[in-house]
Structure formats: structure tokens, C-alpha cells
Amino acid sequence: MKATGKKSFLARTPSWLLAVLSLIIFTIVLFAVDELVHSFDVGGITALALFGVLSAAACFFIIKQNPRSIWYVPLIINSLLIYSTFVEPNFWRNPPDYYGIPMGVPVCCGWVLSIITSITGARKGRKVAMSDNP
């Protein structure tokens, strides 16, 4: 017997599309927050930390809905910051005129958080999927 209820938005939309939409929205949020807090946060650490938290939450919910997407959703959502590791010359060290935290610290913390929440989402998604089967 099939269920008569409607599928949720997350269940109907492919995981890769949700990841790309999340990347676009979070990039806009990253630049907007960086511009708003630029007066007291010179290195953009607040914006990068917020991007990491948002990407981790998105990874959890997308992968919880489709546990098989654990292999590509974190890569798609974090692709902009992965690209910046190769392009940004001061990724691992402080620029000469800045004495704060290097850009790589909050970015790598966001990656680790995304991976941990992706694994957690995959495990929760498998448990829900198995419990739905009689």
C-alpha cells in the first residue's frame, strides 16, 4: 500500500539542487553579513563562522532526507570556500596589515562541522527510513 500523504519539499527536490541553492543563498548571506559587520570585524571571521554553521545545518537536513547524498552535498555547499583555499594567497597566514585569525581557521572549522553533521544526518536518515518499513 502506498501512503496517500504529500511529500515534503525536501523529499521532492533532488539533493544536488538543494545543495546548489544553499550555496547561492549562503554566499549572498556571507557577503551581506561581511559588509554589515565590517566596521568591527576586519577579517570577516563572523561571516565565515555563520557560513559554516548555515552550511552544516543545510548538510544535516539535506542528507537526513537522502542519506546517499553524503558524498556530494558537503562538497557542493562548501565549493566556494574550497576554491578559495587554492586562490586566496593569505588563506593560512595573516595578511601583513591584519593581526587577527587567518581565514583558514573558521573555514576549516566549518568544513569539519559540515562533515560531522552530514554523518549524523545520514545516520538519522537511515534510522527513519528503516523504521518506516514494516
Distance, CA of 92 to chain centre: 20
Answer whether 0.95 is exceeded by the pTM. no
Separation CA 85–CA 111 (nearest Å): 12
Asked if residue 77 lies in contact with residue 114, where contact means CB atoms within 8 angstroms, the answer is yes
Which segments of 1-134 does DSSP mark as H helices, in order?
Answer: 9-12, 15-36, 45-65, 73-77, 79-87, 104-132
Q: What is the dihedral of CA 107, 63, 9, 49, to 10 degrees?
A: -20
pLDDT of residue 126: 74
Q: Tens of pLDDT along 83-130?
A: 988 888 878 877 655 667 778 888 899 999 999 999 999 999 877 555
pLDDT of residue 4: 60
Residue corresponding to grid cell 544535516: 60
Where are the chain's structural domains? 13-93+101-132
pLDDT of residue 128: 56
Radius of gyration of the chain (CA): 17
pLDDT of residue 45: 80
